[in-house]
Amino acid sequence: MLQSLFIQNYALIEKLDIRFMSGFSVITGETGAGKSIILGAIGLLLGQRADVKSLRTGASKCIIEARFDVSAYGMQPFFAHHELEYEPECILRREVYASGKSRAFINDTPASLSQMKELGEQLIDVHSQHQNLLLNQEGFQLNFIDILAHNDHLLSQYRECYQAWKQHTRRLQELIEQAAQSKADEEFVRFQLQQLDEAALQADEQEELEQEAETLSHAEEIKGALYKAEQLLLGDEGGLLPALKEGYTSLRSVSRYHASLQELAQRAESSYIELKDIAQELALQNEKIGFNPVRLDEVNTRLNLLYTLQQKHRVSTVGELMALADEFRNRLTGITSLDEEIATLTESCETLRQEVIRLAGELTESRRPVAAAAEQEMASRLALLGMPNVRFRVELGQRKEVGPSGQDTVTFLFSANKNGQLQNITSVASGGEIARVMLSVKAMIAGAVQLPTIVFDEIDTGVSGEIADRMADIMHEMGAANRQVISITHLPQIAARGAAHYKVYKEDNDTETNSHIRLLTAEERVEELAHMLSGATLTEAALNNARALLQLQPTKNKKKNG
């Protein structure tokens, strides 16, 4: 139940803080006084898009906060699911900044707009005049039947299965298209892989071959350099090693006469040994290297193959060619496995489709008796609302294919007269008739769903007199069933029935206009009803009529309850 509403810096409202009563309450006020502004503020708490133009001129932010008593509505699962703290008094708050930024809070904890919208839809239902257009929407009509049938669990089960089937179907189509493309590419991929496999690629092969090619191409030059170096070290005439040997031998012969010469002799001998080893290695290398035009041709042929493959596949190393071969191999494996995956997924899709059809059948079976009962109850309610000859039918049809809510179609057929032809309700019903139908729909839904607060925004448009009085009876009865009903109205017959009466009004000062709302006292209520009956000029007759209206309602209630 909505306990209080606080609005600050929203449109024409500088600051508003109002408490609401349980049961049936009414809100009245002149056109343009600000009733729609209050509904717009409540809409923000229900997750609607924020518009910075709604901020009061000069304000940096606006605040809308509502407090709800949720202790009797078993909403703990919602708070547990969203990891929010549960309190018997639930606080929804929305802050909109002039910068365009918006923030939402549930029990002073930051929340997403989707969470606020989900919770708000469980707390309050605002029926505005444009919602009468919903009667023309098949989805609304079908939802009406499902609410009366208490199909929440079955619908959830169906939609989960339906979504899974659709996802599997989309994936299957993607795989079929992928398989068709892969089949077209298979021959090309297989040819490319065959070329790479025939090349027998080896890691680091290219670097080794390039080095070997360099050596073979300069064999004579290398052998000449090795021979010359060897002769410089070992040559009989002018060779370095014979001279070095003679040198360290001479030093050793006199080292006993001078201690430091012993170390120099040892160092010279060590150099001799090292250079002699180098000379022997030069000789060995010279023997190994030879000009081999056959081998050079083999190496160049192999390198040319590697370079050609790299250029073809736009890579620069043998490693990248080997990785590409692995990729081709995986693609061929994938092409082979696609057929198996398609077969498995086709079977899954068919299984899900059969389950969807089965659940759609259960939905149809649950809707048929409810549709029949709804026809009778709607006719009874509309007869009480001044349409004694009304005929109302809920026509259930079948789609060729199942949809998000099953295979059924629902159409409300209506005729207000005995001899009238049953037609789609929005084609033949007047504005007043549609208002009465929507009130009956809301009353029936309210009986099936535990919704704490319902707000009717001028649902009485197009009716007057006794019909308005009967509409007031329905709203009063709805408010008496552990539910809060608030009606924004221009009709005194309905305004008189509220247990509490609020008035929305505007006040002007030198610089601005402010909208306000306040709970009327008993005497103020008489005057407000008198104004609604007679206009701006209060007459004694209008005042007496207003008092009679207020005194008449309890009597009628007692008769109904007796």
pLDDT surpasses 70 at 364: yes
- Is residue 459 within 8 A of residue 487, CB to CB? The reply is yes
pLDDT surpasses 70 at 561: no
Stated as kind and residue range, the H or E segment containing 270 is helix 259-288
How are beta strands 124-127 and 453-457 bridged, if at all? parallel
Q: What's the pLDDT score for residue 244?
A: 82
Give the residue-averaged pLDDT of 358-369: 95
Q: Is the dihedral of CA 191, 197, 203, 205 positive or negative?
A: negative
What are the angstrom distances between the C-alpha of 58 and each of 6, 49, 54, 87, 512? 19, 21, 11, 35, 12
- pLDDT tens readout for residues 241-268: 888 888 888 888 888 878 788 888 888 8
Domains assigned to the chain: 1-127+452-468+483-520 (3.40.50.300), 182-335 (no CATH), 521-562 (no CATH)
- Residue 141, CB half-sphere, CA atoms under 13 Å: how many? 22
User: At 558, is the pLDDT very low, low, confident or very high (cuts 50, 70, 90)?
Assistant: very low
User: At 236, is the pLDDT very low, low, confident or very high (cuts 50, 70, 90)?
Assistant: low
Q: What's the pLDDT score for residue 429?
A: 78
Q: Does the model's pTM come out above 0.75?
A: no
Give the residue-averaged pLDDT of 434-458: 83
- pLDDT tens readout for residues 399-427: 889 999 999 999 889 888 877 888 888 77
Q: What's the pLDDT score for residue 255?
A: 80
pLDDT surpasses 80 at 215: no
Q: What's the pLDDT score for residue 133?
A: 55
- pLDDT tens readout for residues 282-299: 888 877 777 778 888 888
What are the angstrom distances between the C-alpha of 39 and each of 35, 117, 130, 475, 484? 7, 15, 13, 19, 16
Give the residue-averaged pLDDT of 182-201: 81
Range ranked top by mean pLDDT from 34-43, 143-152, 164-173, 446-455: 164-173
Stated as kind and residue range, the H or E segment containing 453 is strand 453-457
Question: Measured between alpha carbons, how far is 167 from 182 in angstroms, rounded to an integer?
Answer: 22
pLDDT surpasses 50 at 554: no
Question: Measured between alpha carbons, how far is 432 from 444 in angstroms, rounded to an integer?
Answer: 19
User: At 553, is the pLDDT very low, low, confident or very high (cuts 50, 70, 90)?
Assistant: low
Mean pLDDT for the chain overall: 86
Q: What's the pLDDT score for residue 559?
A: 40
Q: What's the pLDDT score for residue 130?
A: 58
- pLDDT tens readout for residues 476-492: 888 886 789 999 998 99
Q: What's the pLDDT score for residue 300?
A: 87
The residues, any chain, with a CB within 8 Å of residue 206's CB and separated by 6 or more, are 303, 306, 317, 318
Question: Measured between alpha carbons, how far is 459 from 454 in angstroms, rounded to an integer?
Answer: 12
- pLDDT tens readout for residues 322-341: 999 898 888 777 677 788 88
- pLDDT tens readout for residues 84-140: 999 999 999 999 999 989 999 999 999 999 999 999 888 888 887 656 556 666 688
Give the residue-averaged pLDDT of 51-64: 89
Among the residue ranges 28-37, 50-59, 385-394, 426-435, the one predicted with the least confidence is 426-435
Q: What's the pLDDT score for residue 366?
A: 95
pLDDT surpasses 90 at 281: no
User: At 198, is the pLDDT very low, low, confident or very high (cuts 50, 70, 90)?
Assistant: confident
Stated as kind and residue range, the H or E segment containing 478 is helix 465-480
pLDDT surpasses 60 at 562: no
